[in-house]
């Protein structure tokens, strides 16, 4: 998506969720990881967040398929943005499985793990919003909120993960952390592009407020799932 200058509406959107965004990006799971993360917490997070990772490309495809490229200006650009990024997310899904290798996790472990209630609630919300919400609400909750906050914490975790793994004596290589490295590298632009999608489809105070509310709810579920991972 071509980036455009902020508007009054887009600034309202960002401001409305700033607190919840920060709560995820600076969650204790990440800020304390380098010195306090336990193997049980790391395994629980890897397994528990897999349903989100696994479903992400499908949810993006749902949003893409709802966009009529001729419905409004830049709708074709938004649809193409989803098309290109679905391919990326499918690749990242396999990289998440690689994250579990140093911890002895297999594909069977991921497939058989019952996600905690907090993650089920987040997935249920996102599944519903991409199908029943507006395109702006879906982009806000899925791409701006989840990917944006993820980009923030992965930049912190690039070094924190390596430091903690070394302290715990875990045998790992860069392949095991390429999911983190990739998101730290590219998610600085992704939220800005997702915001462009929101701007295309939320063009008045009411629609931007609904999109912001969807992002807030998504981030609240995200933070609750992280709280749960700390209780391992």
What's the whole-model pTM score? 0.94
* 147-177: pLDDT as tens digits: 999 999 999 999 999 999 999 999 999 999 9
Which class is domain 8-230? mainly alpha
- Residue-level pLDDT at 193: 94
The two three-digit tokens of residue 22, written as one number: 């920060």
Q: How much is the pLDDT for 187?
A: 55
> pLDDT tens across 131-141, in order?
999 999 999 99
pLDDT of residue 188: 64
pLDDT computed for residue 176 by the predictor: 94
pLDDT mean by block of 10 residues, the chain; 232 residues: 96 97 97 96 96 96 97 96 92 94 95 93 98 98 95 93 96 94 78 95 98 98 96 87
* The pLDDT of residue 53: 95
By C-alpha distance, which of 122, 150, 140 is closest to 224?
122
Taking the CA atoms of residue 32, residue 33, residue 37 and residue 41 in that order, the dihedral angle to the nearest 10 degrees is 110
120 torsion bin: left (phi>0), alpha (psi -120 to 50), beta (else): alpha
Q: What is the pLDDT of residue 52?
A: 96
Contacts of 182 (CB under 8 A, 6+ apart): 92, 95
């Amino acid at each position: 998506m071509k980036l455009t200058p902020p508007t009054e509406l887009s600034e309202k959107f960002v401001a409305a969720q700033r607190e919840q965004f920060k709560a995820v990006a600076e969650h204790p799971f990440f800020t304390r990881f380098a010195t306090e993360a336990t193997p049980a917490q790391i395994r629980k997070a890897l397994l528990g967040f897999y349903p989100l990772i696994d479903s992400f490309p499908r949810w993006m495809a749902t949003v893409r398929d709802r966009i009529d490229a001729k419905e409004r200006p830049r709708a074709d650009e938004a649809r193409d943005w989803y098309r290109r990024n679905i391919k990326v997310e499918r690749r990242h899904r396999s990289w998440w499985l690689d994250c579990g290798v140093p911890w002895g996790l297999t594909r069977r472990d991921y497939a058989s793990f019952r996600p905690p209630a907090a993650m089920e609630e987040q997935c249920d919300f996102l599944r519903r919003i991409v199908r029943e919400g507006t395109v702006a609400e879906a982009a806000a909750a899925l791409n701006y909120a989840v990917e944006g906050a993820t980009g923030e914490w992965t930049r912190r975790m690039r070094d924190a993960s390596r430091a903690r793994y070394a302290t715990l004596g875990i045998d790992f290589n860069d392949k095991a952390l390429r999911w983190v490295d990739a998101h730290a590298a590219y998610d600085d632009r992704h939220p800005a592009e997702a915001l462009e999608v929101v701007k295309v489809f939320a063009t008045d105070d009411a629609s931007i407020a609904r999109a912001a509310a969807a992002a807030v709810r998504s981030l609240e579920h995200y933070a609750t799932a992280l709280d749960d991972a700390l209780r391992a």
